[in-house]
Amino acid sequence: MKTSLSKLLKKSDQDQKEIIKKAIFFMGFRGVGILGGYLFTLYITNNYGADLNGLVVLSFSIFMFATIIGRLGIDVNLIKFYSTEGNWEEDPGVFYRVLLKSLFFSSLLVFILYLARDFLVIDLFKKPQLSPYYFWAIVAIPGWVITMLCAGALRARGFNNWFAFFNNTGRFSFAFIFVCLLGWIEMKPINILIAHFFGIYLLTMIALIVIVKKFKKISFRSTTNTWAFLKESFPMMLSSTIMIFLGWMDTFILGVYETDESIGIYNVALKLALVTSFSIEAINSSLAPKIANAYVNNLKEKFLGLIKFSTRLNFSLTVLIVMVLLVFNQWFLGMFGEEFKAGSMALIILCAIHLINSAVGSVGIIMQMTGKQKQYQYIAIISLGINLLLNFILIPRYGINGAAIATAISLSVWNVSGCVYLKRKENIRTYL
Backbone φ, ψ for residue 311 (5° rounding): -65, -45
Identify whether the C-beta of residue 307 lies closer than 8 Å to the C-beta of residue 430: yes
pTM assigned to the model:
0.73
The DSSP letter of residue 216 is S
CA 219 to chain centre: 29
CA 246 to chain centre: 11
- Please state whether 224 falls in left (phi above 0), alpha (psi between -120 and 50) or beta: beta
Q: What is the DSSP string of 23-82?
A: HHHHHHHHHHHHHHHHHHHHHHHHHHHHHHHHHHHHHHHHHHHHHHHHTTTHHHHHHHHH
Show me where the domains of the chain are located: 2-426
Q: What is the DSSP string of 223-269?
A: SS-HHHHHHHHHHHHHHHHHHHHHHHHHHHHHHHHS-HHHHHHHHHH
Identify whether the C-beta of residue 102 lies closer than 8 Å to the C-beta of residue 149: yes
Q: 421: part of which helix (H) or strand (E)? A: helix 373-426
SS3 string, 82-128, reads: HCCHHHHHHCCHHHHHHHHHHHHHHHHHHHHHHHCHHHHHHHHCCCH
Residue by residue, pLDDT tens for the chain (432 residues) are 555 545 555 555 566 666 666 666 666 666 666 777 778 888 888 888 888 888 898 899 889 888 888 888 888 778 777 777 677 777 777 788 888 888 998 999 999 999 999 998 988 888 899 999 999 999 999 999 999 998 888 887 777 778 778 877 788 889 999 999 998 988 899 999 999 999 999 999 999 999 888 887 787 777 777 777 777 777 666 666 777 777 778 888 888 888 888 888 888 888 888 777 767 776 776 677 778 778 878 788 888 888 888 888 888 888 888 898 888 889 988 888 888 888 999 999 988 888 888 888 888 878 877 778 778 878 888 888 998 999 999 999 999 999 999 988 988 888 888 889 888 888 888 887
Amino acid at 221: R
CA–CA dist 56, 133 (Å, integer) = 7
